[in-house]
Amino acid sequence: FLDIRKWMEAMTAAEAAERATDEDIRQIEATLPRLRLAAAQNDRETLDEADVCFHMAIVTATHNNLMAHLVGTFGSLMWSSHGLRLAVLRAQNLETIYEEHAAVSAAIQRRAPAGARDAMLHHIEMIRSRVEGMFGQGNARVPADRIPAIRLSFLTRRGDL
């Protein structure tokens, strides 16, 4: 799960840095105050919601329809484990999570694809570290029997793959 998320989100951050319009960058930046306030108030529920908005704003900024479809397809898996995310957030310094998001946003704003990619990779690796810190080494992976069957046939029918 985190390996797929790492690949997809690092790619989206780099592409957003290359392709984002000024309005896209404003939309990404607009998610940061809510993240910062949630972190300052130790409001894990609001931070979780703002986190999803942040990552979706980055996907939108890629202007990559295939990536948007992939994220839409995997989105239910990526963001379906709300309870697990909140459990992981309980053991974390929310200000650190905000800072990781701010670093990704800043790299996109600078239009630095490698910096955006690296900041997102760092963020996802920190998530892995947090999960493994709570649940033990190797437990950052979703068991195969918990992954819903995903049909990508609609992409091949449309010729996107």
In this predicted model, which residue has the larger pLDDT, 88 or 118? 118
Model pTM score:
0.78
pLDDT of residue 2: 73
Q: Which of 130, 12, 129, 147 is nearest to 77 (CA)?
A: 147
Distance set, CA 34 to CA 10, 20, 38 (Å): 22, 21, 6
pLDDT of residue 160: 38
Tokens of 44: 């894990």
pLDDT of residue 84: 60
Q: What is the arithmetic mean of pLDDT over 113-137?
A: 86
Using one digit for the tens of pLDDT, what is the confidence trace for 9-61? 999 999 999 999 999 999 999 999 999 999 999 898 898 889 889 999 999 99
Using one digit for the tens of pLDDT, what is the confidence trace for 56-92? 999 999 999 988 888 877 766 655 655 566 665 665 6
CA–CA separation, 102 vs 119, rounded Å? 9
Tokens of 60: 């939108």
Q: What is the arithmetic mean of pLDDT over 99-123?
A: 97
Tokens of 34: 């809510």
pLDDT of residue 135: 67
- Could you write out the DSSP letters of every residue in 37-106? HHHHTT-HHHHHHHHHHHHHHHHHHHT-HHHHHHHHHHHHHHTT-HHHHHHHHHTS-HHHHHHHHHHHHH
Whether the per-residue pLDDT at 140 is higher than 70: the answer is no
pLDDT of residue 91: 54
